[in-house]
Every structure is written in structure tokens, then in C-alpha cells.
Chains A and B, each alone.
Chain A
Amino acid sequence: MSSQNENQEVRSPVRFKAFGWLMQRITGVGLLLFLGLHFWLQHMPNGFLATAEEYNSILRELGSTGQEFADAIAEGALKEALPGEHVITYSKVLERLQTPLWKMIDVMLLFLALSHGMLGVSRSLGDYMHNERLRKIAVAAGWTVSVLLAWQGTMAVMSVGMN
């Protein structure tokens, strides 16, 4: 095959794949920064979580104001924090997401993670799925799930503190 022919062989599916590779790199670097930040904020002991004392006082307050909370505490669906525990709690999330920049960062993280993850899944499927029709169905299903999740996640983040 001559080199001229090879150049003509670079058709849109190949370019599309190369674009996917580039996107995987870009979203990967983005995730490195923002997923690192996200994990630090939400899973490690720091000021964005409630300390055990804070959480227990929040629980007492909620239990005395709303029947829904009082029932949940009685059923054990809401538990007191252990000594030294740091807990994700609604008021802390609300406090953080009142800053528009944090909302933007969270929605951006959602899109980075979804596109990186779904692209990874489609590449894995491409390695094992040889039936063209099956693969098209899988890709369509993947897009549907991605769009639904992106919508749901964006709505969840954007609507915090708006009602």
C-alpha cells in the first residue's frame, strides 16, 4: 500500500478514535486536579465536613425541629457521630454550594468524570464486542445513560439552596 493510499485511509472513524484518545488525556488531567480536590474535601477530615461535636449538635437541633428527623433518629436511620469522625452533612454542603464557583466546579467535575468514564467503557466494549449492530446498540445505550446522568447530576447540584 502506498503512502498516498494510507493517507486516504485516515477516515472519520480513525479521526474520531484519535479525538477520543485526546479527550481521555484532557479529561484525565482535569480529573487529576479536581477529583483529587473533591476526594480531599469530601472524604478527609477537614473544615468542609462536620466534626463529631458539630454533627451531634446538628442532629439534636434537627430532631427537635422536624418530625421527619425525629422519626429517622428513633429508627436508627440517623446515627450520632463517633468520636473523631467527620461527617458530610446537608448544612455544610449548602454552605459550600452557596458560592457559584463551587457549583461550577462540581458540575464541571461531573462532566469530566462522566465523559472520561463513559469513553473508557466504550473503549473496553470495543475491545470485546465484534458484532457491529450490538456495538451500535451499546453505544446508543451508553449515550442515553450518560445524558440522563448528566441531567440528573447537574439538576441535583444546581438546585441546592434554590428552593
Chain B
Amino acid sequence: MQENIERSGQSRNRPSFRTFLFTASSYRKLAGMSAWLLHRFTGLALVAYLVLHIMGLRSLADPAAFEIYVTTYRNPLFKIAEAILLGSVAFHAFNGVRIMIQDAFYRSERQRQLFYGVLVLTFVVTLVGGLSIIFPYFIAPMLP
């Protein structure tokens, strides 16, 4: 731990993926660190999804192709992925709002409470929306 802190201090002026790993393992403010990390991770994942999504829109040129395209994504596994997508969007959106609120009003004093607020909101939205997405696939068949 101590060694990592020193190494990250030495290489502070030269950010790189290795430096990032050292910093991540030595960082003590877990809330801020995980907010930043999750924001970047969900952001990059959403860009990957966006590219696939836009390319899939080509099927709109042919009604039959579009129906087949949509049916592919009605597979139960894709429905779980859809709930994860909702979670990523929700976290990225709420955390983005947190960043804006922090910049405008709080600087860093309230960042931990705000981050926990982000987590709670993300959890609630993902739970409610995710359940309604997977309901016909996983929950309705289990009901008597």
C-alpha cells in the first residue's frame, strides 16, 4: 500500500494506465474514486452500445429486416442485457447530475452523501425498470 502511494506520487505528472492502477489501489476516498471509475466505465460501454444501435437502424429500410432485428433482441439474455443497459444509463445520468451539482454548489464537501444518493436512485430506477423489462420472460412464467 505505502509503496503504491509513493509510486503513484512519483508518476503523478505522467498519467497512464499503469499509474492509474497504482493510484486506484492506494486511493482512500472510495466514494469519489468509484464514482469516477463507474462513470468512465459506463460511458465507454454506452458508446459501444450506441455504435451497435445506430448500425442496427439500417434495418429500418426494410420492414421484414426490422422485425427480424427486433426479434433477435427479444431473446431472454438480451432482456437481461437491456436491464443492465438501463442501470448503466441511470448511473451515468445521475452521476452526471451529481457532478454538475457539485461544480455549481458544493465543491467537494457533500460529495460522499451525493454519491450515495446517486447509488440509491440508480438502484431504484434499475430495479423498477429492470423488473418491468424482464417480467414477461422470467417472472410471469413463475407465477401460478
Contacts and interface: CB of A to CB of B under 8 A. Distances in A.
24 contacts: A25-B100, A39-B86, A39-B129, A44-B132, A44-B133, A62-B67, A68-B64, A69-B64, A78-B68, A84-B136, A85-B136, A87-B70, A87-B74, A90-B60, A117-B43, A117-B46, A117-B47, A121-B44, A127-B20, A152-B58, A153-B54, A156-B57, A156-B61, A159-B61
Interface of B, helix, strand, loop or mixed by DSSP? helix
A133 interface: no
B136 A82 contact: yes
Interface residues of A, number: 49
Interface string B81-115: 01000100100010011001000000000000000
Interface of B: 14-17, 20, 40, 43-44, 46-47, 50-51, 54-55, 57-58, 60-61, 63-64, 66-68, 70-71, 74, 82, 86, 89, 93, 96-97, 100, 129, 132-133, 135-137, 140
A105 B10 CA distance: 49
B54 A149 contact: yes
Contacts of B46: 117
A93 interface: yes
Contacts, number: 107
A140 B96 CA distance: 27
Nearest to A38: B89
B132 A152 contact: no
A51 to B, nearest CB: 11
Given A45-B132, A62-B67, A114-B54, 17 more contacts: A32-B96, A36-B93, A68-B64, A69-B64, A77-B71, A79-B74, A93-B66, A124-B40, A127-B15, A127-B20, A128-B20, A145-B51, A149-B51, A153-B54, A156-B60, A157-B60, A159-B61
